[in-house]
Amino acid sequence: MNVRLERVVELAKDRFALQDYYGCIHFLEEIVESGEGVYADVHHLLGLASHLVGYPERAIECFDRALAVNPNYYEAHIHRGIVLNELGRSEEGQGAFASADEVQNEERDGIPGPQADKLANLHAELGAAYADAGAIEKTIEQYRTALRLGPTFHDLRYRLARTLLQVGRSLEAREELETLVAAKPDAVDVRATLGLAYYVSGDLETAQTVWGAVRDEYPDNARVRAYLAMLKRAHEKD
């Protein structure tokens, strides 16, 4: 997520804190519509705001999206269960609470799941602060620590991969992106970035395969078309 969108997230949180839930929704919808590396927190907060203005079905959809990004998101399981119960879908609600219990009882690095998630978010925020200061090695260190505590934080893994690419560590970026694609095969941006990691590391053949597959599925994707044009020019120079 770029700096502008991160600022929009902060504005949305400010609106939520002031109980201006419609304002919060307005800002969050701008982020979701951008399609740019939307974090689980964005979907979760959008779900909370939607519930508070009287749209429970939409809230459930938002919580589901948050859990698709981070299946261990404890609060999303809890709030999903609450809304399902309010809708009279008590059996599904109990299932959501059971999932929350599983997350709570899970330990990562010897730390209970919900606390591990909170610590992971703190390390991620610290990593972003280091990135703003230009301390990229410390950024990477904090992101890796966060991922040890929250291995299903797919949005954070994507940030790590992009940071690794930024400093020329394309082989490490490939590993992170391959993990992401295995977990989220429909994530077009991730697949496009994986192709770029292959390209930068000198594996043009695999880059062609990755980008070609995305183009076949999403022929209107401008980013992938641009990458394939770049690849074509590279081949013509050989």
Q: Are residues 24 and 130 in the same domain?
A: no
Domain with 14 in it: what CATH number? 1.25.40.10
Judge if 130 and 173 occupy the same domain.
yes
In one letter, which amino acid is 137?
E
> Are residues 95 and 38 part of one domain?
yes
- Residue 178 burial (10 A CB sphere; 0-12, 13-18, 19+): middle
Domain end: 77, 105, 133, which one?
A: 105
62 with 32, same domain? yes
Question: What is the domain extent for residue 26?
Answer: 3-105
On whether both 226 and 146 belong to a single domain, the answer is yes
Q: Among the three residues 85, 105, 125, which one is the final residue of a domain in this structure?
A: 105
Q: How many domains does the chain have?
A: 2
Q: Rounded CA gap, 238 and 182, in Å?
A: 33
pLDDT per residue rounded down to tens, the chain (238 residues):
555 667 788 899 999 999 999 999 999 988 887 765 557 888 999 999 999 999 999 999 999 999 988 888 889 999 999 999 999 999 999 999 999 988 877 777 778 877 888 899 899 989 989 998 999 999 999 999 999 998 888 888 999 999 999 999 999 999 999 999 998 888 888 999 999 999 999 999 999 999 999 999 989 888 899 999 999 888 777 6
Sign of CA dihedral 124, 17, 56, 82: positive
- The Cα-based distances of 44 to 15, 57, 144, 187 in angstroms read 15, 13, 23, 19
The answer on 91 and 125 residing in a single domain is: no
Structure pTM?
Answer: 0.67
